[in-house]
């Protein structure tokens, strides 16, 4: 995979397709040179981003309407891999969600509300997370390749 290559999957926004996205990520990230542990972190982060599209982007649609779609792109830029998860459903204001989020330090797992961990997990597992919400939502997850001998 060269610096200019881009692989894009366009899929129905259904949880049935998350395995296909994770398998594609595994194949791409292996070719780039990421370790097993780094790939597992990326798989968790991309699963969270895709789950948000599946659960929230098209939640307001009637059952009779066709399923919405999500697009997942894998882009290599130098020593980094970016995964872009895009939907055309309902947008949300990521900045205000992050501002309202309570710190997790000192809380037990039972005190944390479901649905509040996705963005936190993405930020903890990736080097960079960018959320754009104009028409739909676009989440850009970036992981930089650290060569052995370099400090993370």
| Arithmetic mean of pLDDT over the chain | 82
For residue 44, give the 3-state DSSP assignment. Answer: helix
What's the whole-model pTM score? 0.79
**Distance between CA 1 and CA 21 in Å, rounded?**
17
Which has more pLDDT, 62 or 14?
14
* C-alpha distance from residue 70 to each of 21, 30, 52, 88, 112 (Å): 11, 23, 10, 7, 28
Query: Are 137 and 89 within 8 A, CB to CB?
Result: yes
Mean pLDDT of 30-45: 96
- CA neighbours closer than 13 Å in the CB half-sphere of residue 72: 29
Between these two residues, 31 and 116, which has the higher pLDDT value? 31
* Cα 62 off chain centre by: 26
Terminal-residue alpha carbon distance, the chain:
23
CATH code matching the domain that covers 6-144, chosen among 3.40.50.300, 3.30.565.10, 3.40.30.10, 3.90.650.10: 3.30.565.10
């Amino acid at each position: 995979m060269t610096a200019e290559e881009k692989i894009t999957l366009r899929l129905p926004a259904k949880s049935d397709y998350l395995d296909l996205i994770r398998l594609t990520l595994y194949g791409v990230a292996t070719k780039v040179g990421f370790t097993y542990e780094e790939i597992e972190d990326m798989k968790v982060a991309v699963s969270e981003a895709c789950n948000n599209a599946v659960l929230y982007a098209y939640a307001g649609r009637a059952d009779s309407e066709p399923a919405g779609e999500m697009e997942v792109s894998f882009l290599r830029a130098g020593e980094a891999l970016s995964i872009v998860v895009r939907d055309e459903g309902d947008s949300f204001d990521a900045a205000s969600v992050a501002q309202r989020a309570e710190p997790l330090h000192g809380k037990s797992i039972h005190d944390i509300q479901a649905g509040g961990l996705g963005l936190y997990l993405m930020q903890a597992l990736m080097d960079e997370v960018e959320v754009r919400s104009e028409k739909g939502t676009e989440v850009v997850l970036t992981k930089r390749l650290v060569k052995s001998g370099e400090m993370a």
